[in-house]
Structure 1
């Protein structure tokens, strides 16, 4: 998978992904495809005995090879509903509208899906208005564009000009990459290392000392560098970066109101019990109430 914006609501931050993953490949990975008879209502899901949860493929730290924060959240939601979990990973399409069509209200043209619920959906009013076939709800995390830096090499970063000539790792095909490439008339292009999959790889380069700073998503950078006193992780100081980031939640088909209500109750209970904070911490990410 190439670099990403980790499901930012605005189209410029879209993942450019490998396509063509069929239902057979998903089954071969042992993660299961949704059954042919699509259950939408809570009663039908309970009758089946399993909650089919769509998760993005190769989205660290939320899902990689059957593990990650969204996988643990999916498991906790299924358990809260007294159900088994059937995980349905998939490669993202060109935009969020396509993902909602493929994984929430219609099913993928390759023959798998839809899931009962899709995780990591931007809770974004324009997206809601543009997709009446889906219910978007259950915010559980606020994502941001961020930059991490080696404090011994960059003691301050109040503006991008403080980078000087220091090398910076950032996935080029990501929101962080586009912002850095275009900032200040392209002043930083020559010092950017952009041939990276994601912000996790950028953070790993920083930790190895190959660059002085790394751009990416807050979750990506924290999952590698959190609590290491040698590094600071802060919002990217660019006026074009989304000031408050964006909130991600989940989505079900429009006629699944009862399922949505039960999932909303479940995620509320997980937050109140401290479970969300613990499962994010296990992925190296600091969780705060949305």
Structure 2
């Protein structure tokens, strides 16, 4: 057993060493500090990044390790919208003095969004996120068909959503606003899920990854991926952003993400945080 473990560790070490960039290639990366990858992640955003742990933090650390760099994690509070976040954390820095990172995690990979943010380069999709409905099966039937059918139950039942999110916006406006009085807002998806376990709401609408992490012990609850025609965005790829002129860094990160995916390491990172990995 010990010899088998030793062979495994030696093989793993050889694999890791093989993926590190040589010194001359590292020198070409557009880094603020030669030996460090400065990684921006959202604060208080479980299971992706909260209190120094999470999927985006682990992926960032794996990227840095494979590139032979030290990972510096910078957690930041979301601004009014993601355009502001990209300005503050990637291409300019925050007016309060926070300098930008080399790379920002958890950025939607979308052509129109990228075109509106030409000072950054959006790259390396590493996960496909989907909107989902967590529901008490005894109170809410399986959602099917159009919103008029799938969400009619919430004219009678309470449904939870995180404040100021895509889910909240959808619920407040769908069915000509008929659900407004039954939409209950929470500070986080985890808070909404906790309210559902107490019976205060019958369902929660949110991204699937956040719901999976919040409801690892599902019990009587079902979790359904949504495909409703009225929902403008029901699935999207998550990637990362670097400055628009950071071509060498963008190429290195994209190549390394592909290696993490093909080796299965991305899947293991997501599984360790209670989330099902979905290839983008």
TM-score interval (norm. to shorter): 0.7 to 0.9
Matched residues in 1 for 2:243 and 2:174: separation?
A: 40
Residue among 77, 83, 93 paired with 2:79: 93
Residue among 191, 211, 222 paired with 2:201: 211
Return closer, same or farther for 1:163/1:130 CA change in 2, 3 Å cut-off: closer
CA deviation string 1:195-219 (max 9, x = no partner): x112221112222333211112212
- For 1:165-204, list aligned pairs within 5 A: 165-194=156-185, 196-204=186-194
* Post-superposition offset of 1:62: 0.8
Matched residues in 1 for 2:117 and 2:182: separation?
A: 40
Q: Which runs of 5+ in 1 are unaligned?
A: 1-39
- For 1:1-290, list aligned pairs within 5 A: 42-43=28-29, 45=31, 48-158=34-144, 159-163=150-154, 165-194=156-185, 196-226=186-216, 228=218, 230-236=220-226, 238-290=228-280
CA contact (8 A) 2:131 2:234 kept: no
Which structure is higher in helix share? 2
* Post-superposition offset of 1:52: 0.4
Matched residues in 2 for 1:289 and 1:232: separation?
A: 22
Q: Which runs of 5+ in 2 are unaligned?
A: 1-25, 145-149
* Post-superposition offset of 1:43: 4.1
Partner of 1:190: helix, strand, or coil? helix
Larger CA Rg, structure 1 vs 2: 2
- TM-score, with length taken from structure 1: 0.79
Return closer, same or farther for 1:94/1:186 CA change in 2, 3 Å cut-off: same
CA deviation string 1:56-108 (max 9, x = no partner): 11112111111111111111111111111111111122222222222111221
Matched residues in 2 for 1:247 and 1:41: separation?
A: 30
Partner of 1:284: helix, strand, or coil? coil
Alignment size in residue pairs: 250
Matched residues in 2 for 1:222 and 1:235: separation?
A: 11
